[in-house]
Amino acid sequence: MRARWGQRWSFELTPDGPDATTVTEIFDCSQVPENQRADIDHGSIRVESMRQTLERLDQLCTSQPGAAAQG
């Protein structure tokens, strides 16, 4: 996904056993001009949002079938 300044978000999925996957959310702001990188604190302002996204993903993947539709 490309955003306004050229930063990119992606997910890296790595198998971790027969019933598990490690998910890494990546925020890449290396293409953003330096002065604008400072405005977004070189991406660190996104850490809390990334943590919340990964928690929601974990809840969706580990909940009982149909539970996601309720919550």
| 12-66 confidence digits (pLDDT tens) | 989 998 888 888 888 787 777 777 767 666 566 677 787 888 888 889 888 866 5
The reply to whether 2 falls in a domain is no
Q: What gap in Å lies between CA 70 and CA 67, rounded to an integer?
A: 5
Residue 54 inside a domain? The answer is: yes
Q: Looking at the domain assignment, is residue 28 inside a domain?
A: yes
Asked whether residue 22 is domain-assigned, the answer is yes
Phi, psi at 68, each rounded to 5°: -65, -35
Cα gap 48→54, rounded to integer Å: 10
Collapsing DSSP to helix, strand or coil, 2 comes out as strand
Inside any domain, residue 1: no
Amino acid 2: pLDDT: 46
pTM for the predicted model, two decimal places? 0.55
The verdict on residue 69 lying in a domain is no
Residue 45 lies in a domain: yes
Please, what is the Cα angle at 17 between 15 and 20, to 5 degrees? 65
Band of pLDDT at residue 4, cut at 50, 70 and 90: low
55: containing domain: 8-63
Q: How many domains does the chain have?
A: 1
- Cα 38 to Cα 41: distance, rounded to the nearest angstrom: 5
